[in-house]
Amino acid sequence: MYSALLVIIYLAFISLGLPDTLLGSAWPQMHIELNASLSSAGIITMIISFGTVISSLLSDKLNIKLGTGKVTAISVLMTAVALLGFSLSHSFIILCVLAVPYGLGAGAVDAALNNYVALHYSSKHMSWLHCFWGVGASIGPYIIGTCMAHGLGWRGGYSVISVIQFTLTAALFIALPLWKKVENSENNVSNENNERTQEEPQERKAKSLSEVLHIKGVIYILFAFFCYSAVEQTTTLWCASYLVLNRSIDSNIAAKFAALFYIGITFGRFLCGFIADKLGDKNMIRLGIIIIVAGIVMLFMPIPGSAIALAGLITIGLGCAPIYPSIIHSTPFNFGADNSQAVIGIQMAFAYVGTTFMPPLFGLIAQYINIGLFPVYILIFTAIMFITSEALNNINKNKAYK
């Protein structure tokens, strides 16, 4: 029963990643057909991000009212409808309207599934699930590219992925009784190694934003998550430009290694799954930060040639791998099972804010000051992430968990 539900959750995480990289891949062709400016993609992504923040903040209320299974199924359905709408749309304004359910669906399912896995499965599964999200995010552009190559255009790509989402939606609705069976069979919240056991309340009230922010230590993890998202997304967006403009690396090579940074995160999460249960979430976060700093140091090294800088970029990607899953998985331990959904929802919201605003901020720094400050910028956020995560560890130092 647990294994069958876990398969459903894995498929849902692939589905969660599928739409995330579509717009960037399809937009060069989309904006011409829609008679929209090249920069207009930013408007759509901002609307999607705003939707994800709103639904993340509401995730606790939604989960109490509907349950994780229904929230997941309805959210994937909303995303599927939005993707189908994208494939049929001939207007930029319509795309902006469709971006609302697109973002709301993505944020709700992200928060709901992350909390469920944090409560019911071990740390290794959290790492592997986020690895599967990366698989979905990698497949999306491939589907778009294949459809374009065979004359189906970007609309064909969006149609294919919407069909995949509708298929998964059907599977999720069929599997709804399975969620109930699993929940009814559990009296305690524990991981597979019985490292922690906390009683999960059967009935509880949704917590307001103010109540969650007053939980001891929450503010530290919110800033840690914000900083992690700033590091990952700033590196994703600006690493190629930094390599070309500051390290004089050929643009083709820089583009390939920028892709390897993303692949490094995905592959790193696969590897982390084999050691996560042994090291524990706290040490996995520390390990990730140490590896990120090592990669940043490589970027600082004024060594001629491209090898050390490129190696530094891949190292940063590997360092990012364990942090996001480990922060999520440690939430029930840090703040209690009854608070975890509310805290994870706000964590997701802070992550989306960091993702949305911090990379553009560095863009202004690069344009008006110097793009060579890229390693300094991500080092600052990494340092804050370390300070805030260790501050939380200090609060929970007497708890019997790694």
The answer to whether residue 258 scores a pLDDT higher than 80 is no
Q: Which of 222, 247, 260 is nearest to 374 (CA)?
A: 247
347-375 pLDDT, tens digit per residue, is: 989 998 998 889 888 888 988 999 899 99
Taking residues 3-31, what's their average pLDDT?
A: 82
Contact by Cβ (8 Å): 402, 282: yes
The pLDDT value recorded for residue 297 is 93
Contact by Cβ (8 Å): 320, 232: yes
Taking residues 15-26, what's their average pLDDT?
A: 80
Q: Tell me whether domains 2-183 and 209-395 share a fold.
A: yes
- Per the model's pLDDT, the better-predicted residue between 107 and 227 turns out to be 227
List of long-range contacts for 84-93, beta carbons under 8 Å, 24+ apart: 84/158, 84/159, 84/162, 84/166, 86/158, 86/162, 87/155, 87/156, 87/157, 87/158, 87/159, 87/162, 88/155, 89/34, 90/33, 90/34, 91/34, 92/34, 92/35, 92/36, 92/40
Q: Which CATH architecture has domain 209-395?
A: Up-down Bundle (1.20)
Q: At what angle do helices 2-17 and 92-120 cross, to 10 degrees?
A: 150
The answer to whether residue 17 scores a pLDDT higher than 70 is yes
Helix (H, G, I), strand (E, B) or coil at 53: helix
The answer to whether residue 199 scores a pLDDT higher than 60 is no
Contact by Cβ (8 Å): 127, 272: yes
- Per the model's pLDDT, the better-predicted residue between 78 and 119 turns out to be 78
Give the position of tokens 């019911």. Answer: 120
The pLDDT value recorded for residue 321 is 93
- Say which residues have a Cβ less than 8 Å from residue 162's Cβ, sequence separation at least 6: 80, 81, 83, 84, 86, 87
Domain positions in the chain: 2-183, 209-395
CB atoms within 10 A of CB 202: 7
- Say which residues have a Cβ less than 8 Å from residue 242's Cβ, sequence separation at least 6: 299, 371, 372, 374
The answer to whether residue 1 scores a pLDDT higher than 70 is no
**Fold entry, domain 2-183:** Growth Hormone; Chain: A; (1.20.1250)
Spatial separation of the C-alpha atoms in residues 44 and 103, rounded to whole Å: 10
Taking residues 336-340, what's their average pLDDT?
A: 87
